[in-house]
Amino acid sequence: MRFLNQASQILGKKPFKKIFILICLLILIPILRSGPRVGYGIAKNQNNRILRIGTSGRVRSANIFLDSYISVFAQLSNPSLMKMTPDGRIVGQIAKDIHISSDYMRWEFHIQEDLYWSDGELVTPEDVKFTIEYIRDRSPVAGWMKDTIDTVSISDEKAVILQLKRPYTRLDVEMATHRLLPKHIWQSIDTPMQYTNPGENVGCGPFFIQKIDLNRGVILFAQNPFWKGPKPKIDAIEVHIYQNIDVLSLALDKGEIDVFYNYASSYPYQNLKKIRANSRFDFIEKLSTGLIFLGLNLGKAPMSDLRFREALSFAIDYGEIIKLDSLGYGKIPNRGFLPPTIEHYKDTTPLEYNPEKAKQILDDSGYGDHNGDGIREGHDGKNLALTLLVRPVHARLAELIQDYLRSVGVKTTTKSVDTSTWINLKDRYRYDLTIARTTPWGMIMHAGWATGYFDSRRTGEGVLHNIDDPKFFKLCDDLLSTRNKEKLRDFAFQVQDYYNGQLPAIPLYWNVFVTPFHTKFQGWLTNPLYGIFNIDNFLNIEPAQK
């Protein structure tokens, strides 16, 4: 305002004064005219029948089929066949129940009978058949379906039968991530790659997408008028998209949004202190199924040497990483990689910070510093200088790792690149070390138990595919071969033993997901896959009694 004062002084003479006042008025009138609403958000705060969710995911287009961010939200309007329960089991959602042939070649999904699309049409097996075929034929991510699903047919009135080309045990897991599409709408859409619908998207969940306004940054959900299930206790859900996590935090603190949600993410730890001071908020804190880990390029010396990997694992100060990078919202991991929240968790050796031991191992296994420059040499006699490839989000962690390794005599250079470059370099194995994280889906994809991150027989944007070991391949195949609980547990233990023994990656910490929510709502339910963003939760949430 100092500017305005000075401006008015300067202009304080004759005609400019009038013009200046006019301009000021033009600017101020709309601000003043807005009447009793003192500020944004304060008035809105009163409504506790609309749930406002804040996210910082970069939703790019109004295409629920292909935009990976929006498809997470679209599960509310276009539920998947299967879902994950709060305790992590996969059960039916649109499917009432499933029958699987003993050779895992024939899957029969029985469909709920009282589901209606938001335009009044009944949800039929035809819709399911259409959706699966549509994904198989038109989605770039469903290559596996082409190799796996032979035919889709409808047996009687209410069952969809998938005849497979090869035995596949984890079809139900896959079916928890694909959204059901209304055939009568989507059958006319030939090129989903060029399709957006910012208006009403017909859905069959308890809520449907009323509007996707990306200029405003919101996805609006309204109640599905034809929903026959338990009636939701809230009227509408709004997803507000923020491009900046700090602004999101400010909005949360101000009460513009009621809860934070990012897929596979905790509320940023460093912002928690502030929101904890706000008495209107409460928190869901859960150890996630994921973790942050140091990936190693196993095909390259010295990372190919188990002794070297062991030494690295002793060089890292896990306690300090937890203190600094997760502000205490983490747990020191085990060598077995998987956190205890995963089914069939096996308690393996905890990782330990012991730089002396790290140095000892390095000395013993031929990585001594023979030329005395403070940097150890590899077996080829050259200084150990490793490239640590990271994305900007992990810049601080990289700084710590670099420091830990320096103090045991291993030199690293941090290369911080954007995601596309990271994927590109990682896929071409152009790194020595890298920092990555797992997602809830990543932990169960492929054969499960994080195998999807390491199996070099398959690639993907977020995975390292760095294990090229027949023993590991065998383990994956074993896991994929059965749905028998005992056998699965046995194989899962074996995988964890493999991680424990081989250290294909060094877990840095198991993280805790913290989700702040406004106490004007109660009855929150989360599941390990999608956190709070699941239908059970939105059916359960209710305005808190005052």
Partner 1 sequence: MKKPALPRQNGSAQKKSLSSLLAVVLFLVFFILALCANIIAPHDPWERFDPYLPPSVEHWLGTNDLGHDILSELIYGSRVSLLVGLGAAVLATAIGLCVGLFAGYYKGVTDEILMGITDVFLMIPRIPLIILLAAFLKPSFWIIALVIGFLWWTSTARVVRSKSLQVSEMNFVLSSKCLGFSDKHIIFTDIFPNIIQIVIPKFMLTVAAAMITEASLSFLGLGDPSMKSWGMMINFAFTKGGLINALWWWFIPPGLCIMFFVYSVVLLGYSLEEKEQAVLGIS
Partner 2 sequence: MKKIARYLLALFIIISINFFIPRLMPGDPITNLMGEDYIVSQESIDALKAELGLDKPLLVQYVTYWGDVIRLDLGHSFHFHTEVSQIIASKLFWTTALVGLSILFGTLFGAILGALSGWGKNDPKNKTLTTFFLWIYCTPPFFLSLVVLYVFAFKIGIFPLRGFYETGTFTDIAKHFFLPVLVLSLSLASRNYMIMRGSIIQEKGKLYILYARAKGLLNRGILFRHAFKNASLPLITLVALDIGFIISGALFVEIVFSMNGMGTLIFDALLARDYPVLQGIFLIITIMVVVANFLADIVYGIIDPRVREQR
* Interface with partner 2 (CB under 8 A): 2-3, 6-7, 9-11, 13-14, 16, 27, 30-31, 33-34, 38-42, 58, 60-61, 63, 66-69, 140-141, 143-144, 146, 192-196, 214-217, 241-244, 247, 250-251, 254, 256, 264, 417-421, 423-425, 439, 441-442, 445, 458-463
C-beta separation of 207 from 117 below 8 A = no
Extract the tokens encoding 453: 């991150």
- What type of residue sits at position 200? E
Choice between 281 and 367, CB closer to partner 2: 281
Q: Does 246 bind partner 1 (CB under 8 A)?
A: yes
Q: Does 213 bind partner 1 (CB under 8 A)?
A: no
Number of residues that bind partner 1 (CB under 8 A): 30
Q: Which of 415, 430, 465, 489 binds partner 1 (CB under 8 A)?
A: 415
By C-alpha distance, which of 513, 527, 521 is closest to 540? 521
Tell me the C-alpha distance between 475 and 457, whole Å.
Answer: 13
CA dist list (Å): 226 to 122, 129, 198, 205, 293: 9, 22, 21, 9, 46
Choice between 122 and 247, CB closer to partner 1: 247
C-beta separation of 317 from 404 below 8 A = yes
Choice between 515 and 537, CB closer to partner 1: 515
C-beta separation of 527 from 33 below 8 A = no
By C-alpha distance, which of 149, 104, 101, 102 is closest to 128? 149
Residue 279 binding partner per list partner 1, partner 2, none, with a CB distance cut-off of 5 to 8 Å that depends on partner kind: none
Residue 396 binding partner per list partner 1, partner 2, none, with a CB distance cut-off of 5 to 8 Å that depends on partner kind: partner 1
Strand partners, 513: 286
By C-alpha distance, which of 149, 100, 101 is closest to 129? 149
Q: Which of 201, 265, 334, 402 binds partner 1 (CB under 8 A)?
A: 402
Q: Which of 217, 268, 460, 543 binds partner 1 (CB under 8 A)?
A: 268
Of the candidate spans 173-181, 215-223, 415-423, 483-491, the one that interacts with partner 1 by CB under 8 A turns out to be 415-423
Residue 7 binding partner per list partner 2, partner 1, none, with a CB distance cut-off of 5 to 8 Å that depends on partner kind: partner 2
Tell me the C-alpha distance between 269 and 285, whole Å.
Answer: 12
Q: Does 319 bind partner 1 (CB under 8 A)?
A: no
Extract the tokens encoding 486: 């005992």
Give 368-426 as a DSSP string. Answer: --SS-SSS-B-TTSSB-EEEEEE-GGGHHHHHHHHHHHHHTT-EEEEEE--HHHHHHHH
C-beta separation of 316 from 404 below 8 A = yes
Kindly state the DSSP code that residue 91 receives in the 8-state scheme: E
Q: Does 274 bind partner 1 (CB under 8 A)?
A: yes
Choice between 316 and 390, CB closer to partner 1: 390
Choice between 31 and 546, CB closer to partner 2: 31
SS3 46: helix
Choice between 272 and 362, CB closer to partner 1: 272
Residue 395 binding partner per list partner 1, partner 2, none, with a CB distance cut-off of 5 to 8 Å that depends on partner kind: partner 1
Q: Which of 68, 155, 187, 270 binds partner 1 (CB under 8 A)?
A: 270
Shortest distance (Å) from residue 268 CB to partner 2: 16
Choice between 273 and 546, CB closer to partner 1: 273
Choice between 185 and 332, CB closer to partner 2: 185
Of the candidate spans 29-37, 91-99, 399-407, 497-505, the one that interacts with partner 1 by CB under 8 A turns out to be 399-407
Whose tokens are 């500017």? That residue is 3
SS3 13: coil
Of the candidate spans 13-21, 66-74, 76-84, 270-278, the one that interacts with partner 1 by CB under 8 A turns out to be 270-278
Tell me the C-alpha distance between 26 and 5, whole Å.
Answer: 17
Choice between 421 and 500, CB closer to partner 1: 421
What spatial distance separates the first Cα and last Cα of the chain, rounded to whole Å?
Answer: 41
Q: Which of 396, 457, 474, 483 binds partner 1 (CB under 8 A)?
A: 396
By C-alpha distance, which of 53, 98, 179, 47 is closest to 537? 53
Tell me the C-alpha distance between 363 and 377, whole Å.
Answer: 10
SS3 17: helix
Q: Does 471 bind partner 1 (CB under 8 A)?
A: no
SS3 497: helix
47 Cα distance to chain centroid = 30
Tell me the C-alpha distance between 536 and 350, whole Å.
Answer: 35
Per-residue interface string for the shown chain with partner 1, residues 82-121, x marking contact by CB under 8 A: ----------------------------------------
Residues in the site for partner 1, rule: CB under 8 A?
245-246, 249-250, 253, 268, 270-271, 273-274, 320, 323-324, 327, 390, 392, 395-396, 398-400, 402-403, 413-418, 421
